[in-house]
Structure 1
Amino acid sequence: MQRDVMEYDVVIVGAGPSGLAAAIHLKQLAEQQSQELSVCILDKGSEVGSHIISGCVMDPKGLTELIPNWQELGFPVTTAVISDKLLFLGEKKAFRMPLPKDWHNYDNYIISLSQLCRKLAEYAEALGVEIYPGFAAKEAIIEDNTLKGVITGDMGLDKQGNPTPNFQPGIEIRAKQTILAEGCRGSVSKQVIEKFDLNHYSQPQTYGLGIKEIWRINPKHHLEGTVVHTIGYPLNNNAYGGGFIYHLEDNLIAIGLVTALDYKNPYLSPYEEFQKFKHHPMVTKLLEDAERLEYGARTVVEGGIQALPRLNFAGGILVGDSAGFLNVPKIKGVHNAIKSGMLGAKAVIEAIKHDKAEANTYRDLFRQSWLYKDLYKVRNIRSSFQYGRWFGLIYTGFEKFILKNKAPWTLKIKHKDNERLEHKSKFKPIEYKAYDNKISFDKASSLHLANVVHDDSQPVHLVLKDKTTPTTINLTQFNAPETRYCPAGVYEIVKQQGTPKLQINSQNCVHCKACDIKDPTQNITWTVPEAGSGPQYSDM
């Protein structure tokens, strides 16, 4: 197929905090070195920020290093944290827990990451960065064992993948260096990690599924600048995760639940657990006379430093959650994403300057940075919860309060998340309560608040390697877990002439990637749909 070709010095896939930081720092470095550098960012969302979702309490450290005068420039980082709590939830009560000093959120800010990325994009464009939202990178261009750029997805295909009268072939975006900043479980990143065997020396990656809502609450319950994190209810002892409630400006709160995807029980539904969380008395009181405004979901990378892939390879690098720089116990990733983008930019510009195929200084820059120290200190916390909630809590207290972050060992991650799911015969089905449509809601009404947009006539972007596996294995052994781990109602078992069949409602997809991660046989591959499809977040 004949495709148009565009060429740049650097192409960046993803307009999240790491990709935007990389673009900005590339331009800053180029100016310092009096170097001409063409930089392009591609993003699959219809506009910058439309696919961006995070908790989000931000440590401003990374942003300050990138743009020291960000406060003068009116960045949307204004709600300072003034109260910080960690609670253990029983079914009816809440108990305050001690919080290690270095995990406090004072000096941090409650933000909308969507809004921050839009502001970073404005700043990047003012420096000469070309940003193309609505261009989804679908395929890596690999020639002579080197990443040469990416191909964007074709537009105007029908359900069977055939060209319609509106067909437009994807474009080859070629570059001297490609920075993959797609976020958690990026589709091109996944191709590249496999092609270059970047996980060869890494431990298995592990993930969580975060579900979040924005509510406007009664002013009498609103405490601007308050941060609450919870563990315990509704998740059982064998499921890691926790809730969060952040009080923003204008009587708004962000509320959510992160459920680790290494859970064993195939009957568990992260979406339904989040509905239960909202019915805890502490949360219910907060949501009295409140209005739900927005809904979204996204997976997060939880493996930490043990699970980081090799960061650089011939022709490109991984930054942000494409690599996995989230500090899980602190629930902080934005400052790390920004820092990784800056480190990556420095390595990339050096590679281009010296005409090298590989930005091989990136690893050393990372090892010498505060980002490495940040992740190394907490390397054992998440992995300790593999052995259950109580062991994890006791171990965390021991390492934080007794060993003072100086454990001489590193706990290993034992299994991939999809390998942890156990046979349905070992568990009883979980009976979740009916929705009251005041605090808890069905998926259809939630999707409405995610503003999900997909053209129904386009090819299904959720690809099955074997079409029989969903019924012969997933249904018979695990009672169709994809109908529960998906927070958007994409997967449904229907009867066709009396025979069960998996129906894929791809138009519902919020691009969380949970199916690509948790499917027990790894039979589902998430690929990019037509560019601009998916959720349209505004304040997430």
Structure 2
Amino acid sequence: MEFDVLVVGGGPAGLAAAIRLKQLADEKGQALSICLIEKGAEIGAHSLSGAVMDPRALDELIPDWKDKGAPVSTEVSEDRFVFLSERGARRVPNALLPGCFLNHGNYIVRLGHLAKWLGEQAEAMGIEVYPGFAAAEVLYDEAGAVKGVATGDMGLNRDGSPGPAHQPGMELHARYTLFAEGCRGHLGKLLEARFSLRDGVDPQTYGIGIKELWEIPAAQHVPGLVMHTAGWPLETDTYGGSFMYHLEGNLVAVGFVVGLNYANPYLSPFEEFQRYKTHPQIRKFLEGGKRLAYGARALAAGGLQSLPKTTFPGGALIGDDAGYLNASRIKGIHAAIKSGMLAAEAAFEALVAERSRDELVAYPEAFRQSWLCEELHRARNFKPLMKKGLWLGSLLFGMDQMLLRGKAPWTLHNSADHTALKKASECTPIDYPKPDGVLTFDRLFSVFLSNTNHEEEQPCHLQLKDASVAIRINLEQYDAPEQRYCPAGVYEIVRDGQGGEPRLQINAQNCVHCKSCDIKDPTQNINWVVPQGGEGPIYQGM
């Protein structure tokens, strides 16, 4: 199938790019064929974020979004930032908070609902939108430029041979292909390697975000409340914190982020989140409520100095496939939308000029002149400063933002997360309490609430480059940390019989596509690739 532009990924970046292209084509009377494919079963199925949204980019993309019924209605009414100790809490006066922690004029949203609405707008404009199609391979023309993607085969047996229901994938070709797979995109990672897009920039650094959606008693609900915490239950040398956002209808989004540059291999982000909910300041909101949904997703937190080169012959990286997230604001939706718009404008300019599969140099140039670049520049030292510990990092970042206004004459640097893990012999195991089934839960019941499904007979989409490394290095030196950093119970060390040799069992059907294993594995032995299209979680407006 041939198109003028192919967009890979149906999140806010990809949908914004497709919509902006069609807007420009309609304004100029140009006939463009635009196709968007999404690996989730439906648009929004794999979308997960906190999420508080700055509406700035949406205002630019669809100025009348309110009149068109966008699911953006809960305006932030109050900000609270609290430092937690094991039993106590100390709220920071808003007057002492850097501006990045204040949310006046922003909205609490459910990203899955927003993505679905954007998908409806795209289809109404005549854009071809195909959910359930996973891009498995990048295609190149004879000159080495990207010419599109191939979707994965369906109905393969575990050994990769065609099964009775086999359906071969399709080749989708385009003059330009925009990659919007989200954080740690599988194809984005391959493109970075092929075109050396990370030469001269810092490694990307990530967090794992784990989220639950609760319905709570009306007396405990504060519509529009945005609450963030730092401190307990994490040690002060570990980057992370929580969010609690009060939506409409007595709904509360509650979640926990742990930087994947943590050092202790015994740490479990999932268990830290469950423990956090037992704090009196958190329990008082959730007690008597009902947990409705669960999910997890990695997020790129490196900022400006970790952005790769975003263009290559035939295409570009947009949204979190490149890393356009402002970690200090804990926001990425507006950045994803803006980056998609900028890439779309560059692609449209090239198409009008009758160019094909060259490098869209106008895209990074436009980014450098945009408010998004200015915003990320102000925030660029956030993650490196927070690596210095909770108290010192908070103090230094406060000075950076409130005294220097983010204009310090230096830029600090990031390092790769997988290099931070210490050997198990150097660390103390963490004793996590058992879940009570009321406020705290285990992984498997949580995964059930994510509506995750994978066909078990297909090839495993979690590939080990060397199967022996899982025991010889990960287990022996790090006590198999994949059992703990995975929030879905995918990785399990099992021993067959009495004193049998240990082996790594991969329960790939549990995978919620968070990508933590691909990021945190200390030997980079785990490679996440796409399963069959339409599989994975089906988040209900997460």
Name the TM-score class by shorter chain.
over 0.9
Aligned-partner SS, 1:452: coil
Shift of 1:511: 0.2
Paired position in structure 2 for 1:103: 101
Distance 1:399 1:320 in 2: 26
Equivalent position amino acid for 2:62 in 1: I
2:71 to 76, 101, 104: 76
Equivalent position amino acid for 1:32 in 2: E
Distance 2:519 2:402 in 1: 34
List aligned pairs for 1:455-474, cutoff 5 A: 455-474=455-474
Shift of 1:332: 0.9
Distance 1:483 1:322 in 2: 26
* Aligned: 1:441 with 2:441: yes
**Cα deviation per residue 1:445-488 (whole Å; 9 max; x = unaligned)?**
10110011111111110000000000000001100000000000
Asked if the contact 1:351–1:358 (Cα under 8 Å) also holds between the matched residues in 2, the reply is no
Distance 2:382 2:57 in 1: 23
Shift of 1:102: 4.6
Distance 2:337 2:134 in 1: 22
1:42 to 37, 46, 57: 37
* Aligned: 1:113 with 2:111: yes
Distance 1:131 1:317 in 2: 19
Distance 2:12 2:323 in 1: 13
List aligned pairs for 1:137-148, cutoff 5 A: 137-143=135-141, 144-148=143-147
* Aligned: 1:277 with 2:276: yes
Distance 2:375 2:385 in 1: 18
Unaligned 5+ residue runs, structure 1?
Answer: 1-5
TM-score by length of 1: 0.98
Which segment drifts farther, 431-440 or 496-505?
A: 496-505
Paired position in structure 1 for 2:262: 263
Asked if the contact 1:443–1:487 (Cα under 8 Å) also holds between the matched residues in 2, the reply is yes
Equivalent position amino acid for 2:8 in 1: V
Equivalent position amino acid for 2:235 in 1: N
Paired position in structure 1 for 2:534: 532
List aligned pairs for 1:229-378, cutoff 5 A: 229-354=228-353, 355-356=355-356, 357-378=358-379
Shift of 1:291: 0.2
**Cα deviation per residue 1:465-517 (whole Å; 9 max; x = unaligned)?**
00000000000110000000000000000113610100000000000000000
Asked if the contact 2:377–2:406 (Cα under 8 Å) also holds between the matched residues in 1, the reply is no
Shift of 1:34: 1.5
| Percent identity of equivalent pairs | 52
List aligned pairs for 1:381-400, cutoff 5 A: 381-400=382-401
Distance 2:327 2:119 in 1: 26
Asked if the contact 2:13–2:319 (Cα under 8 Å) also holds between the matched residues in 1, the reply is yes
Asked if the contact 1:266–1:421 (Cα under 8 Å) also holds between the matched residues in 2, the reply is yes
Distance 1:483 1:352 in 2: 48
Paired position in structure 1 for 2:511: 509
Shift of 1:239: 1.0
Which segment drifts farther, 40-49 or 391-400?
A: 391-400
Aligned-partner SS, 1:297: strand
Distance 2:86 2:434 in 1: 17
Paired position in structure 1 for 2:404: 403
TM-score by length of 2: 0.98
List aligned pairs for 1:42-191, cutoff 5 A: 42-97=37-92, 98-143=96-141, 144-191=143-190
Shift of 1:360: 1.1
Equivalent position amino acid for 2:28 in 1: Q
Distance 2:438 2:100 in 1: 37
Asked if the contact 1:226–1:246 (Cα under 8 Å) also holds between the matched residues in 2, the reply is yes
Distance 1:462 1:17 in 2: 26
Distance 1:159 1:336 in 2: 39
Equivalent position amino acid for 1:115 in 2: H
Paired position in structure 2 for 1:3: none
**Cα deviation per residue 1:351-378 (whole Å; 9 max; x = unaligned)?**
2222141111111100000010010001
Distance 2:405 2:347 in 1: 36
Shift of 1:388: 1.9
Distance 1:41 1:201 in 2: 31
**Cα deviation per residue 1:114-140 (whole Å; 9 max; x = unaligned)?**
000000001011111101100000010
Equivalent position amino acid for 1:428 in 2: T
Paired position in structure 1 for 2:432: 432
Asked if the contact 1:302–1:326 (Cα under 8 Å) also holds between the matched residues in 2, the reply is yes
Aligned-pair RMSD on alpha carbons?
0.9
Q: Moved runs in structure 1, 4+ residues, more than 4 A?
A: none
Distance 1:261 1:102 in 2: 22
**Cα deviation per residue 1:245-293 (whole Å; 9 max; x = unaligned)?**
0000110000000000000000000000000111111111111110000
Distance 1:9 1:401 in 2: 46
Shift of 1:381: 1.1
Asked if the contact 1:327–1:333 (Cα under 8 Å) also holds between the matched residues in 2, the reply is yes
Distance 1:13 1:386 in 2: 34
Distance 1:404 1:10 in 2: 40
Shift of 1:391: 2.1
Equivalent position amino acid for 1:484 in 2: R
Which segment drifts farther, 490-499 or 198-207?
A: 490-499
Paired position in structure 2 for 1:14: 9
Equivalent position amino acid for 2:493 in 1: I
Aligned-partner SS, 2:284: helix
Aligned-partner SS, 1:387: coil
Asked if the contact 2:61–2:341 (Cα under 8 Å) also holds between the matched residues in 1, the reply is yes
**Cα deviation per residue 1:173-232 (whole Å; 9 max; x = unaligned)?**
010000000000011111111110100021011000000000000111000000001111
Unaligned 5+ residue runs, structure 2?
Answer: none
Asked if the contact 1:350–1:359 (Cα under 8 Å) also holds between the matched residues in 2, the reply is no
Number of equivalences: 534
Distance 1:298 1:422 in 2: 24
Shift of 1:101: 3.0
